[in-house]
């Protein structure tokens, strides 16, 4: 019991530290980027000197990133995420409205990507050197070469569901990894023994291919999630989907510190938590096996 | 009454009220480029919010975008005092906000007080800040009010075109409006639904209540390619501001949908950095401060070609700071600087520049080469910059184009001054010189080529300062026009800004829309949204 608790505590500490550092690094990058603290409204000739000065002063609290981060974290402890200066809306509200869009996009993307990648890889565990292998490899390589933004543009023009783009970005990686993993598993002694004993194909596949490699599959799932999150930004921008990917793009363009620190925190948290969950599950599977 | 009867009655009531409030004019759909930052009309400072304010707000008077004349709206009449400090309004009676709250002079007083509240920093209010002191509002009767400013304001009445009246008493605050539509639903990043205001006061010639449309749906669509694609597919009804490239496509794919209303107020312009504290070499600053150099560059640029190639003929060579679209204020005595490569070389020779093996050198032997910053991702400006490169290479000048993202660009031209020349387009939201004060006064922040001067550094800038102050303090339109004509003349001669082209107001309008009358002032298409309809029957009744 005690080692499990220590393990969980270690993971929790790691998640917290990485998220905090990630948030700070995002702030530092935004602060150092050219154009920080500049507001395009300053260019509006209709504004008076006072208004322009007020606009400039509105960014004063963001200049010292240590102070800003500390204040933001204090607010976070009270459930306050701040107000986005570029969109003039509470960050919490913006996230609440946009997170479901991205979650849906990711869910469909993962489903499509895994469905295609895994679906194409499974037959290759049993057969080799045929036209199917050549075709499947070429198909996966093709999508590996096309940038997510170009795919998104194509899907936009053809009015196809944009979730497919995320799926097509993930699929080549899933396909290649799954193919290799399944082939390696097929050569393991226990699989050969099971075959020799005349067990059914489905049973061998489920119990002797998939189960022993569960930690690797889970690791692939974590990688897929990171890939899907990265793909969500260009897809949402090109297809004008109001998710957090599009929000991240707008925040970066406007050097919006409140949004950037929150979004980096969310993405880092999601990635690190998935990784930790996979590691913990892997550990659990290893112990069980 | 049992529960079933109650439900039935409620349903009947719902359908009857829905039918009664519907006009049958349909739903108008178009796009906003980004989310509006605010629905508070006093705090509007971005384009989407301004568009929403235009559609939902009730105004005391409005500038007719077609005739460029002020027309009475909530105020039936108004009078500006001789000293130019006080304006008195007589208001329409019996009007109500969208939520049913009655409208009176108290609402105008409340709006003016909020507008002039220094702590709110209202951009709309800035137009009325003429001097130190408080603005006084005096409610003379429920339908009469006078507003007194601390100092005279030129074109005082015209500034009210931007002032949407808010309710002093409504619990809905800024969401209670007097315009043709009110905001009924908003999903950030996705859409904005505006429904017909059942209490809108206007009626057409046949006594029928306006607006004709039942609702307006504004989709938030940042991507202009997608917006055009959606228009061509019939998913939206109009695109208010179309690029020349898309305009040709609209004309090809949907003949009759493209509308060219003529030249706009908006110029594309180039200026050189003349700021003394800028980190550019002194010899380059000396070039940029030479009138001959600037006028030579102006003459060396083939602006007709830019209009023909970049804008596909949907622009015209700019004359100066104002375009002919500003019917009253444009100085008609000015003509565009002619494209004259030899003339440009002669002017440069007067300053000691010499052309040698196809390259231009200054009198100290420095090769004439400079960079031009502009906004990255703006295809039109990138093409203009390429054409400028070609034109200037003809007189031996090497131009390096540096596209920058907008915050970086603004940082360079307003803070660090780390640039040599800049290409940008300005959007003129109002007619005449009122919004130009912050550009032309040498002490102003937006005096782009050399901002925040303690004293005017040149005689012609001192003269412009004097003339701009003269026109701003005068209440006689004739005197104002004379002074501003002279400012235009000096700007044309000294060329602190090199004006390239004035683009045309291009829009795409679905044939399903009726009563749309595209104009050259923004908003181009839906400035008369209360009369637009998607039903021919409704529009012609």
Closest Cα partner for B506 from B295, B251, B162, B274? B251
Per-residue pLDDT at A91 exceeds 50: yes
Contact assignment for A46 to B414 by CB distance below 8 Å? no
C-alpha to C-alpha distance for B267 and B500, rounded to whole angstroms: 7
- Give all strands of the β-sheet with B136-141 in edge-to-edge order: B75-80, B86-91, B144-148, B136-141
Give the residue numbers spanning the domain of A268: 82-288
Cβ-Cβ contacts under 8 Å, A55 against chain B? 121
Judged by a CB distance cut-off of 8 A, whether residue B285 touches chain A is no
B26: left (phi over 0), alpha (psi -120 to 50) or beta: left
Determine the 3-state secondary structure of B138 from DSSP: strand
Q: Quick one: closest CA in A to B413, which residue? A: A43
Q: Is the peptide bond before B523 cis (omega within 30 degrees of 0)?
A: yes
**pLDDT in the model for residue B236:** 95
Is A50 among the domain residues?
Answer: no
**pLDDT per residue over A235-285, tens digit each?**
999 888 899 999 999 999 888 999 999 999 998 998 898 888 888 877 776
C-alpha to C-alpha distance for A186 and A183, rounded to whole angstroms: 5
Strands B421-425 and B369-375 turn out to be parallel
Judged by a CB distance cut-off of 8 A, whether residue A38 touches chain B is yes
Interface contacts (A, B; CB < 8 Å): 104
Shortest Cα distance from A236 to chain B (angstroms)? 11
Cβ-Cβ contacts under 8 Å, B439 against chain A? 45
DSSP string, A46-86: TS-HHHHHHHHHTTGGGTSHHHHHHHHHHHHHTT---EETT
The answer to whether residues A198 and A192 touch, using CB atoms and an 8 Å cutoff, is no
Tell me the ipTM for this assembly: 0.76
Calculated CA dihedral for residues B28, B31, B32, B35, nearest 10 degrees: 90
Is A68 among the domain residues?
Answer: no
Is A156 among the domain residues?
Answer: yes
Judged by a CB distance cut-off of 8 A, whether residue B44 touches chain A is no
Cβ-Cβ contacts under 8 Å, B414 against chain A? 38, 42-43
Burial of A236 from C-beta contacts in 10 A (0-12 / 13-18 / 19+): buried
Is A48 among the domain residues?
Answer: no
Shortest Cα distance from A107 to chain B (angstroms)? 20
Q: Quick one: closest CA in B to A242, which residue? A: B189
Check residue B169 and report its DSSP letter: S
Cβ-Cβ contacts under 8 Å, B121 against chain A? 50-51, 54-55
Cβ-Cβ contacts under 8 Å, B224 against chain A? none
Contact assignment for B129 to A93 by CB distance below 8 Å? no
Is A259 among the domain residues?
Answer: yes
| pTM: predicted TM-score of the whole model, two decimal places | 0.83
Contact assignment for B407 to A41 by CB distance below 8 Å? no
Judged by a CB distance cut-off of 8 A, whether residue A34 touches chain B is yes
Alpha-carbon distances of A202 from A63, A209, A215, rounded to whole Å: 61, 10, 20
Burial of A54 from C-beta contacts in 10 A (0-12 / 13-18 / 19+): middle
Q: Using DSSP, how many helices (H) and how many strands (E) does chain A show?
A: 12, 2
Contact assignment for A46 to B429 by CB distance below 8 Å? yes
Query: Measured between CB atoms, which of B38, B129, B411 is closest to A38?
Result: B411
Cβ-Cβ contacts under 8 Å, A39 against chain B? 410
Shortest Cα distance from B42 to chain A (angstroms)? 13
Structure tokens at B420: 């040599």
C-alpha to C-alpha distance for B218 and B195, rounded to whole angstroms: 11
Instruction: Please name each of the domains of chain B with its CATH number.
Output: 22-57+179-237+510-541 (3.40.190.10), 58-170 (3.90.76.10), 263-503 (3.10.105.10)
> CA end-to-end span of chain A, whole Å?
18
* Dihedral pair phi/psi, residue B187, rounded to 5°: -120, 110
Question: Which of B31, B33, B49, B121 is the mutation pick for testing A, counting most A CBs within 10 A?
Answer: B121
Contact assignment for B187 to A35 by CB distance below 8 Å? no
What is the largest distance, in Å, between two alpha-carbon atoms of chain A?
A: 87
Portion of chain A with pLDDT greater than 90, in percent: 37
Average per-residue pLDDT for chain A:
87
Strands B136-141 and B144-148 turn out to be antiparallel
Closest Cα partner for A125 from A55, A197, A191? A191
Contact assignment for B126 to A247 by CB distance below 8 Å? no
Name the more confident of A182 and B32: B32
Q: How many domains does chain A fold into? A: 1
Contact assignment for A240 to B436 by CB distance below 8 Å? no
Cβ-Cβ contacts under 8 Å, A156 against chain B? 226, 229
Is A9 among the domain residues?
Answer: no
Query: Measured between CB atoms, which of B38, B121, B446 is closest to A88?
Result: B38
**pLDDT in the model for residue B8:** 56
Structure tokens at A129: 């050197």
The answer to whether residues A247 and A12 touch, using CB atoms and an 8 Å cutoff, is no
Determine the 3-state secondary structure of B166 from DSSP: coil
Check residue B528 and report its DSSP letter: G
The answer to whether residues B75 and B90 touch, using CB atoms and an 8 Å cutoff, is yes
Name the more confident of B107 and A47: B107
Strands B359-361 and B354-356 turn out to be antiparallel
**pLDDT in the model for residue B96:** 97
- Mean pLDDT in consecutive groups of 10 residues from the start of chain B, 541 residues: 56 48 78 93 92 97 91 96 93 96 96 92 86 88 94 89 95 94 92 96 93 95 88 94 91 90 93 95 96 97 96 95 92 94 96 94 96 92 96 96 93 93 85 86 92 94 94 88 96 96 95 92 93 78 56
Question: Which of A36, A48, A235, A260 is the mutation pick for testing B, counting most B CBs within 10 A?
Answer: A48
What is the largest distance, in Å, between two alpha-carbon atoms of chain B?
A: 100
**pLDDT in the model for residue B93:** 95
Cβ-Cβ contacts under 8 Å, A248 against chain B? none
Judged by a CB distance cut-off of 8 A, whether residue A252 touches chain B is no
Alpha-carbon distances of B376 from A153, B245, B323, B373, B405, rounded to whole Å: 20, 18, 26, 9, 5
C-alpha to C-alpha distance for A199 and A202, rounded to whole angstroms: 9
Calculated CA dihedral for residues B240, B246, B251, B255, nearest 10 degrees: -60
Residues 433-452 of B with CB under 8 A from A: 435-439, 445-446
**pLDDT in the model for residue B306:** 97
- The CATH number assigned to the domain holding A109 equals 1.10.3720.10
Judged by a CB distance cut-off of 8 A, whether residue B427 touches chain A is no
Query: Measured between CB atoms, which of A45, A238, A253 is closest to B446?
Result: A45
Determine the 3-state secondary structure of A199 from DSSP: coil
Is A187 among the domain residues?
Answer: yes
DSSP string, B210-252: SP--SEEEEEE---HHHHHHHHHTTSSSEESS--HHHHHHHHH
Is A42 among the domain residues?
Answer: no
């Amino acid at each position: 019991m005690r080692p499990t608790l220590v393990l969980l505590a270690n993971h929790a500490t790691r998640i917290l530290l990485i998220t905090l550092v990630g948030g700070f690094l995002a702030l530092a990058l935004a602060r150092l980027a050219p154009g920080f603290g500049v507001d395009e409204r300053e260019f509006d000739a209709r504004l008076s000197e006072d208004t322009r000065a007020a606009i400039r002063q509105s960014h004063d609290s963001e200049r010292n990133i240590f102070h800003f981060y500390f204040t933001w974290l204090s607010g976070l402890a009270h459930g306050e995420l701040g107000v986005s200066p570029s969109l003039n809306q509470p960050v919490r509200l913006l996230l609440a409205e946009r997170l479901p869009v991205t979650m849906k996009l990711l869910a469909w993307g993962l489903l499509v990507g895994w469905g295609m990648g895994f679906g194409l890889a499974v037959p290759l565990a049993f057969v080799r050197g045929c036209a199917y292998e050549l075709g499947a490899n070429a198909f996966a390589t093709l999508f590996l070469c096309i940038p997510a933004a170009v795919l998104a543009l194509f899907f936009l023009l053809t009015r196809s569901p944009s979730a497919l783009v995320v799926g097509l970005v993930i699929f080549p990686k899933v396909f290649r990894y799954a193919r290799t993993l399944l082939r390696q598993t097929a050569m393991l002694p226990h699989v050969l023994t099971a075959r020799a004993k005349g067990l059914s194909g489905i049973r061998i596949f489920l119990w002797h291919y998939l189960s022993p490699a569960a930690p690797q599959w889970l690791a692939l799932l974590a990688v897929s999630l990171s890939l899907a999150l990265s793909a969500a930004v260009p897809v949402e921008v090109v297809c004008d989907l109001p998710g957090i990917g599009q929000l991240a793009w707008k925040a970066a363009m406007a050097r919006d510190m409140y949004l950037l620190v929150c979004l980096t925190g969310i993405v880092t948290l999601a990635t690190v938590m998935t990784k930790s969950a996979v590691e913990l599950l892997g550990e659990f599977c290893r112990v069980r096996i | 009454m049992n529960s079933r009867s109650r439900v039935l009655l409620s349903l009947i009531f719902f359908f009857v009220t829905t039918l009664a409030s519907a006009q049958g004019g349909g739903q108008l759909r178009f796009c906003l480029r980004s989310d509006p930052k605010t629905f508070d009309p006093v705090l509007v400072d971005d384009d989407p919010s301004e568009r929403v304010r235009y559609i939902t707000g009730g105004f005391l008077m409005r500038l007719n975008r077609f005739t460029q004349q002020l027309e009475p709206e909530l105020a039936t009449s108004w009078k500006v005092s001789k000293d130019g400090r006080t304006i008195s309004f007589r208001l329409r009676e019996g009007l109500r906000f969208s939520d049913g709250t009655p409208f009176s002079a108290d609402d105008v007083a409340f709006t003016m007080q909020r507008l002039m509240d220094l702590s709110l920093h209202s951009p709309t209010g800035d137009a009325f800040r003429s001097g130190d002191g408080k603005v006084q509002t005096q409610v003379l009767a429920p339908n009469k009010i006078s507003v007194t400013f601390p100092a005279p304001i030129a074109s005082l009445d015209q500034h009210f075109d931007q002032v949407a009246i808010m309710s002093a008493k409504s619990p809905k605050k800024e969401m209670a409006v007097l315009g043709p539509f009110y905001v009924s639903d908003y999903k950030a990043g996705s859409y904005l639904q505006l429904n017909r205001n059942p209490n809108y006061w206007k009626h057409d010639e046949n006594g029928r209540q306006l607006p004709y449309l039942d609702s307006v749906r504004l989709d938030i669509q940042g991507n202009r390619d997608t917006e055009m694609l959606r228009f061509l597919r019939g998913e939206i009804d109009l695109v208010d501001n179309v690029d020349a490239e898309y305009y040709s496509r609209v004309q090809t794919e949907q003949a009759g949908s493209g509308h060219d209303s003529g030249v706009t107020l908006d110029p594309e312009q180039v200026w050189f950095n003349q700021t003394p504290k800028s980190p550019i070499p002194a010899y380059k600053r000396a070039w940029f401060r030479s009138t001959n150099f600037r006028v030579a560059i102006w003459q060396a640029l083939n602006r007709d070609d830019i209009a023909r190639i970049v804008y596909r003929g949907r622009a015209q060579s700019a004359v100066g700071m104002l375009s002919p679209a500003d019917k009253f204020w444009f100085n008609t005595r000015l003509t565009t600087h002619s494209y004259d490569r030899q003339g440009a070389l002669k002017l440069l020779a007067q300053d000691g520049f010499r052309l040698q093996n196809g390259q231009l050198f200054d009198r100290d032997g420095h090769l004439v080469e400079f960079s031009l910053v502009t906004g990255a991702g703006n295809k039109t400006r990138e093409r203009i910059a390429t054409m400028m490169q070609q034109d200037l290479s003809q007189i031996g000048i090497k131009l390096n184009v540096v596209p920058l993202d907008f915050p970086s660009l603004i940082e360079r031209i307003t803070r660090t001054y780390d640039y040599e020349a800049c290409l940008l387009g300005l959007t003129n939201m109002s007619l005449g010189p009122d919004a130009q004060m912050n550009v032309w006064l040498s002490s102003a922040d937006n005096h782009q080529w050399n901002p925040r001067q303690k004293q005017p550094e040149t005689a012609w800038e001192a003269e412009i300062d004097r003339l701009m102050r003269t026109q701003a303090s005068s209440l006689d339109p004739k005197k104002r026009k004379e002074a501003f004509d002279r400012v235009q003349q000096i700007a044309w001669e000294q060329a602190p800004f090199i004006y390239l082209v004035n683009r045309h107001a291009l829009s795409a309008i679905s044939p399903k829309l009726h009563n749309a009358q595209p104009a050259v002032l923004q908003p181009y298409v839906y400035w008369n949204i209360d009369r637009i309809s998607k039903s021919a029957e409704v529009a012609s009744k």
